[in-house]
Structure 1
Amino acid sequence: MREASTKALLERRGRSTDEIERHRLLEQAVELNADVARSIASRYRNRGVDLDDLEQAASLGLVGAAHRYRPELDVPFLGFAIPTIRGEVKRYFRDHAWMIRIPRRLQELQRLIATTAPQLKQELGRQPTSGEIANRLQVDVADVERASAAHGYFNLLSLDQPLDPAGDLRLLDLVPGNEDQTLLEFEQVSQLQPALDDLPSRERRILELRFVEGWSQAAIGADVGVSQMQISRILGRVLDDLRNRLLAA
C-alpha cells in the first residue's frame, strides 16, 4: 500500500545519516505520492491559472510535507500531507488568479447568458448571435462578447459542488466511508475526477448545467433536446455509474 511504503521510506530516511541516501529516500517517497499532488492541483484547473504551475505548487507542498513528517507520531502520511499540499495550491491560486479574475458584473452576465441563450436557440432554431442575446438582455453587445470570451474562468465541475438545491449532498459525498477516512476518501476522490473527465460531452454538460449552473431539469432538457423525464433518468444513471466506479475501485 502507498501509506505503508511511504512510511517505511521516511522511517529509513529518519534513521540514515548519509545525506545522499536521505535525499534518495525522500525523492522516492515524493514520487510515490506524486499523483496525489497532481490530483489536488487538478481540482483548480480551468480556473484561470496554468495547470503546470498548480502542479508545481502542489509538488512543493508534497516535498515540504515529506520533509516535516515524523513517522514515529503514527499519523497517516496522507492525512498529514493533503492539507499541506492543498494549502500550497490555494495559496498559489490566491496569489496569481487575481490577475485574470473577471469583474462581478461580467460573472453575473455570464449566468444570464447561460439562461437566455438556450431559450433564444429554441425560439430561433439556431444559435443566437451576440447582438440577439444583448437585445434580449438589454445590454451592450460588447459586454456580451466580453462575458462570453471570459466563459470558463472559475467554472469547474468541482467535487465540492452541491448535488441538490439544499446543498445537502456533494459529488464528494458519493465517496463511501471507511475506518481510514482520510486515505480512502482521497484515493477514491482522485478516481472520481478522471471518471468525470471520461463522461460523454452531453452527459458532462448535463451535470454541469444541473449542479454548477443550477438549471432545472426542464431547462436542461430544452437545451439538449430531450424531455425532463429523460434528463432525470440520465442524471440518475450517471450518478449511479460514478458511485459504482468508486465502489469497484
Structure 2
Amino acid sequence: MALESRYADDPDTAALFRRLVELPEGPGRERLRGEIICAWLPMAHRLAARYRGRGETLEDLRQVAAVGLVNAVDRYDPERTRAFASFAVPTITGEIKRHFRDRMWSVHVPRRVQDLRNVVRRATAELAAAGTQPSLARIAEHTGLTQVEVRQGSEALHGFSALSIDAEASVGGSGVLLCDSLGTVEGAYDLVLDREAARPGLRNLAEREKRVLYLRFFAGMTQSAIAAELGVSQMHVSRLISESCRRIREDAAREPARRKTTRGTARPRPV
C-alpha cells in the first residue's frame, strides 16, 4: 500500500505535479508550486508534531518541516516516484532530524547514540501503552538491544542541552552550585610535581653542575657572572647548563617507567 493512501491529509496532486514539470520558469509555475506546497502543508505539520517535547517549540518544528516540504516539492520527479508522499515523508523527517542533530544538541552526541535514544523512546511508549513497566530489561527484550545500549539511549533522552554550571548541584536546596565544585589551577601543586620529577636527575649531577644550576636558577645570576665566579668562560657555563638540563629531563622521563618496573618486581623474602 502506498504512503499516499494511509493518511487523510494526503491530497491528490498528481495532475498538478505533471503540469509543474511541463511549465517553464515564471510566475505561473511559481503559483502552481505554491499551491502544491500549501496542499501538503498539513501533512508536514503532522510530521512536525511527532517531535514535540524534545526541546523545540512546535512552531519552530513546523517551520523546519515546511523547509523539508519545499525541498521535497522541488526535487520530486513524478516519472521516477509514483506517490509524492513516499518521497516527501522521509525528506521532511530527515530535515527535522538534521535540525535536532545540528542545532539542538549543545553537546556532541554520536549518531549511534542518537539512534539508540529514538529506539528507547519508542519502546518506552509502546510498553507503557501496553500496561507494562518499561524497565531496563524489558526495553532490552522488546527492542533486541543490550542493556548497555538501552542505558546509553536512556541517558541521551535528556542530552539535548548541557546543564548550566549555575544550576544547583543537588535537589536538597543547599544552594551549592555546580560551579562551586569545579577545581581551579593550583600552581603550587604543579611546582611540587616538577620538583619531584627533577629530584632524581639533580641527585645524579656532579657538584660543579649542581652549583651552576643553583647560581643560575635560584640565585638569579647571569651566565657571565657565573663564569666570572667559577673562573671559566661564559660559553662553558652555557654548555654546562644545557647538558645538565638535558640529563634532568631524560631522568624525569625514565622515572615513571623505573617506578613501574620496581613496583612489579617481587622482593625476595629474608630467610
TM range (shorter): 0.3 to 0.5
TM-score by length of 2: 0.38
Structure with greater Cα Rg: 2
Comparing both chains, which one has the higher relative contact order based on Cα–Cα distances under 8 Å and sequence gaps of 6 or more?
1
Report the structure, 1 or 2, having the larger helix content: 1
